[in-house]
Amino acid sequence: MAPKLTVEQPPRAASAASVKRRSMMASTVGNVLEWYEWSAYAVFTPFIAKALFNTDDPVSALLSTLAVFAVGFLMRPLGGIVFGRIADVKGRKFVLITTMLMMAGGSLLIGLMPTYGQVGVAASLLLLLARVAQGFAHGGESATANTYIAEIAPAQRRGQWGSIVFVAIFGGSVLAYMLGGAVTNVLSASAVAEWGWRIPFLFGAVLALSALYMRRGMAESEVFDGQQEDQAVKTAPPLDRKKIIRSILMMIGMTAGITAAHYTWTSYASTYAITRQGMDPQGAYWVTVFAQLIALVSLPFWGKLSDKIGRRPVLIGFALAMIIAQIPLMSMINSQPWTLFVASTLALLIVGASGALLASVLSEAFPTRVRTQGIGFAYSLSVALFGGTAPYLNALFNSWSLGWLSNIYIMILCALTGLVVYKLRETRGIDLKDA
């Protein structure tokens, strides 16, 4: 019997693959913490408002409004653009470490800052500054993480690796809500209002030290390094600016339905169940957490599927499924928590099919020299226009007894996503150096 031949992987190749896996893990852990710190503010907003603002003080009340607006609708897109430019010039690793430091610093400041009762309106100003810094950093983190993971991933597994970015989005949110539930269950309401609301922010700042240590050992993207070498010897081809502008517009349209559906089912559905259907808040809260956990587990499978059959079929499938399911799923929600669980789980599984592919599709749409800038502008702007406003528009339409209109709005945006994807070329497995 002939001896079985084995092909050993060269040590240098094995070492490079190991470094890439560690780099992916370092980026992901940091990204989870960024989304955790972002979500923790939403979880503890009622307690923060009482501690750091005063509705009887018009200046403080105005700052309360601006704190939410500035971060949600202004600073994230601006951070994506500014840090996107920096990432395309100085490197992805540099930005990922910088944004981690900014988010951690913001969390530490929130966790330690004095209350309104101690320093007056200065407390409101400090919170505004902290959230502006975090929003700015968050926009840069999102754009750069999408670019970095896609660039270090093996070309034939880019969809599966890229899905990790959306895993971090769900993971950070789930972590924040679980810690929020633990704090509010263990401590009395008065203790949470007095000092317990600080715990998640201090916890996040401490964990960020571990993430920073991991990110220090990350490898820079080989795609970025190769581009820098080409520019140094002046062999890089000129940029096609018309093509870049078209890619930006296409990515804004593609992301519109994805982000609107995502924020509707992660941020608004539970609010709708509580305020419009009379569901118990604790029940609504926990079933939403479990629905997000199930969707989180599905993400790598969606990414792997796109590596096998292509990005376009999966994304078009998302658009069609969401158009068909939006009205039936929202209509099934009543006062029973199980209805929200079933509806949210199915909706988020559909949303996950598109979210898992964002990193790969966005990265495959832009050349290396402007990749993070392009993603930072297109993705952040689309999230601000269509994602951040989705919960507000849903609530507004329902307050007018026009709930059907909010469903139509989501369906129209998903139709836009499907149309854009139909016009996109298939990019599965392309070499990002030549994108």
Which residues have CB under 8 Å from 112's CB, separation 6+?
A: 198, 202
Q: How many helices (H) and strands (E) does the chain have?
A: 20, 0
Which residues have CB under 8 Å from 385's CB, separation 6+?
A: 252, 256
21 in the Ramachandran plot: left (φ > 0), alpha (ψ -120 to 50) or beta?
alpha
Q: Which of 372, 357, 320 is nearest to 84 (CA)?
A: 372
Q: Which of 335, 334, 341 is nearest to 280 (CA)?
A: 335
Residue 219: count other Cβ atoms within 10 Å of its Cβ: 16
Q: Which of 161, 190, 160, 168 is nearest to 47 (CA)?
A: 190
Query: In the chain, what's the furthest Cα-to-Cα distance?
Result: 89
User: The tokens 């950070």 sit on which residue?
Assistant: 172
**Helix crossing, 58-69 with 121-152: angle to 10°?**
0
Q: What angle do CA 333, 399, 272 make, to 5 degrees?
A: 25
Residue 426: count other Cβ atoms within 10 Å of its Cβ: 13
* Structural domains present in the chain: 24-217 (1.20.1250.20), 240-427 (1.20.1250.20)
Residue 200: count other Cβ atoms within 10 Å of its Cβ: 25
**Helix crossing, 371-382 with 241-263: angle to 10°?**
40
Amino acid residing at 268: Y
Q: What angle do CA 389, 395, 398 make, to 5 degrees?
A: 135
**Helix crossing, 241-263 with 390-399: angle to 10°?**
50
Cα distance between residue 152 and residue 173, in whole Å: 25
Strand (E) or helix (H) holding 104: helix 92-112
The reported pLDDT for the residue numbered 6 is 46
The reported pLDDT for the residue numbered 418 is 97
Length of the chain: 435
Instruction: Using DSSP, state whether 88 is helix, strand or coil.
Output: helix
C-alpha radius of gyration, the chain, whole number: 22
The reported pLDDT for the residue numbered 338 is 95
pLDDT in tens, 188-247: 888 988 899 999 999 988 888 888 888 888 888 788 777 776 665 566 667 788 999 999
Give pTM, 2 decimals. 0.84
| Positions of the chain with pLDDT lower than 50, given as ranges | 1-10
